[in-house]
Amino acid sequence: MSFDVFLFSFWPQSHERALQVTALIRPLLSSSAMSIVLPDGEADIYGWEPNGDGLVTGMMLNHIGGRVAWDLLVEIAKVGRFAIHPIGCAMCFVDEADLQHAPAEFPTRIISSGAELLEEILAN
């Protein structure tokens, strides 16, 4: 799918979270480091690298193929404490406690799997 999916944080990030996010992404990177390769597809990924402070504050993925990528996005959101916002869809959270940080103008949804994230996207 070629739409943009953003992961970002409304709360302070930590170096521990940055290491966990990087550990999930780095083994999947293509030789160009601009896409991830998964068993059943791939996706372009931008902005995942730690910033000058060593923190990962968000990223964008597009051209997402296969089902494994959706589970990966949810796992990244869990370890990085990110919201997932597929453009044109509800802002998805993996922890109900984080809903308090969502901007009021966006619809929200709690998800726990890649299948639920994909369901949200396909419904819109």
pLDDT the model gives residue 1: 57
Helix, coil or strand: residue 120 = helix
pTM of the model: 0.93
Q: Cα(36)–Cα(25) distance, rounded to whole angstroms?
A: 7
Task: Please count the other Cβ atoms lying within 10 Å of the Cβ belonging to residue 122.
Answer: 9
Beta carbons of 7 and 75 less than 8 angstroms apart: no
Confidence band, pLDDT 50/70/90 cuts, at residue 88:
very high
Residue-wise pLDDT for 11-49, tens only, equals 888 999 999 999 999 999 999 889 999 999 999 999 998
Beta carbons of 20 and 80 less than 8 angstroms apart: yes
Q: State both tokens at 124.
A: 């819109």
Which domain does 78 fall in, by range?
5-123
Task: Please count the other Cβ atoms lying within 10 Å of the Cβ belonging to residue 82.
Answer: 28
Count the domains in the chain. 1
Q: Is the pLDDT of residue 63 over 60?
A: yes
Residue-wise pLDDT for 64-75, tens only, equals 999 999 999 999
Cα angle vertex 25, ends 87, 74, to 5°?
Answer: 45
Q: State both tokens at 62.
A: 């597009």
Q: Is the pLDDT of residue 50 over 90?
A: no
Q: Is the pLDDT of residue 83 over 60?
A: yes
Q: Cα(98)–Cα(53) distance, rounded to whole angstroms?
A: 24
